[in-house]
Amino acid sequence: MAKTKSVENQKKADLAVSAARQSRHSGLLTVFFTVLSIFWILPIIIVLLNSFKRKAYIFKNPFGLSSVPISQGFDKWSAGLSKTFVGGLNYGNAIRKTNFFSCFGYSLFITVVSVALIVLCCSMTAWYITRVKNAATKTIYVLCLFSMIVPFQMVMFTLSKFANILHLSTPWGITIIYLGFGAGLSIFMFTGFVKSIPLEIEEAAMIDGCNPPQIFFGVDIPIMKPTIITVAILQSMWVWNDYLLPSLVLDVNKYKTIPIAVQYLKQSHGQIDWGAMMAVLVLAIVPIIIFYLAAQKYIIEGVMAGAVKG
């Protein structure tokens, strides 16, 4: 009896020691990861800092605040500081040069409409091809799988020419291209989920007198909400950041998205106005960070769910 007790005590002591070790370990890890995280986002902080600097100082003194080291006295240092920084000048230049707000508008419009179309149309198609089993629906599914392994370079030339011929070179038209090119992955993900919805629920609705559209929108759409969020997030990340497709399909003299505007700041002979570039980069990143912080939970869950399936 006494022996078991002492063994138990021994075990408890062991656990306590290992817990203490664990927590000291974990304290060190916290410090380590704090430093690493700061380094991780340092490039973004440097860009933010440099976006307020005079053009000439971005490359002369990219990582510091003042052009004069503080060892030469505070007055000289602060004089260097005011020489280095120009306030919002770069932002004015950047907005004028890229017509930033219109680019932002086009990016937002194209992303929202494309993703809405993709979610609506692909969930419907996925439901249909799961519920109706015949050679045609099977072919559609196989074609969707196939389209997922085709790189964009394979279709870029013909796709952009056809888009021109069909007058799809506008912000409205490109959403149809995105629906077509994004359909594969989305239908694949929706089909995986629809298969898990029990038929009995739909049959019950049918007995109550619902027709298929009513069943789909009334019964299935609410159940599919997690997958809808996943697909919407994955496709938004793709469409918002996509450069090559819109640069080839859109009439870029009239319509530029943000990535196109950034790339076009580089002139044909390779020269870049780095002041304006820094400001544009900040303007491009800020909306993403706001969106990220607001929808972080869904974004992380969406990526997790997407990877488990894809």
Partner 1 sequence: MDKTVKKYWPLFVLPTMAAFVIGFIVPFVYGLFLSFCKFTTVADWKWVGFKNYTKIFVVNGKVDTTFLHSLWYTSLFTIVTMLIINIVAFAIALALTKGIKGTNLFRTAFFLPNLIGGIVLSYIWLMIFNSFLARYSKTIVSTQWFAFWGLVIVVSWQQIGYMMIIYIAGIQNIPGELIEAAKIDGANSHQLLRFVIIPMLMPTITVCTFLTLTNGFKLFDQNLALTGGNPAKQSELLALNIYDTMYGTTGWQGVGQAKAVIFFILVAVISLIQNKLTTRKEVQQ
- Which residues, 52 to 71, sit near partner 1 by CB under 8 A? 58-59, 62-63
Q: Of the listed pieces 9-17, 67-75, 82-90, 287-295, which binds partner 1 according to CB under 8 A?
A: 287-295
With contacts defined by CB under 8 A, name the span among 2-10, 71-79, 81-89, 157-165 that binds partner 1: 157-165
In the complex, what is the shortest distance from the CB of residue 101 to partner 1, in angstroms, rounded to a whole number? 17
Q: Which of 17, 20, 132, 294 is close enough to bind partner 1 by CB under 8 A? A: 132
Alpha-carbon distance 300 to 294, whole Å?
12
Provide the 10 A C-beta neighbour count for residue 103.
Answer: 23
- Contacts of partner 1 in 2-31 (CB under 8 A): 26-27, 29-30
Tell me the window of 2-10, 79-87, 223-231, 256-264 that interacts with partner 1 (CB under 8 A).
256-264
CB within 8 Å of 275: residues ≥ 6 apart: 51, 53, 54, 55, 58, 86, 89, 90, 93, 94
Interaction mask 73-112, partner 1, x per CB under 8 A: ----------------------------------------
Name the residue type at position 301: E
Residues 201-240 that bind partner 1 (CB under 8 A): 202-203, 206, 211-213, 216, 237, 240
Q: How far apart are CA 138 and CA 217, in angstroms?
A: 23
Q: Which amino acid is at 188?
A: F
Residues in contact with partner 1, counted by CB under 8 A, come to a total of: 98
Q: How far apart are the first and last CA of the chain?
A: 56
291 to 44, 47, 78, 93: CA distances (angstroms)? 16, 19, 36, 25
**Span interacting with partner 1, options 74-82, 96-104, 159-167, 221-229, rule CB under 8 A:** 159-167
- Contact assessment for residue 299 and residue 233, using Cβ atoms and an 8 Å cutoff: yes
Report how far Cα 223 is from the mean position of its chain's Cα atoms: 25
Q: Does 172 bind partner 1 (CB under 8 A)?
A: no
Binding of residue 183 to partner 1 (CB under 8 A): yes
Q: Least distance in Å: CB of 72 to partner 1?
A: 20
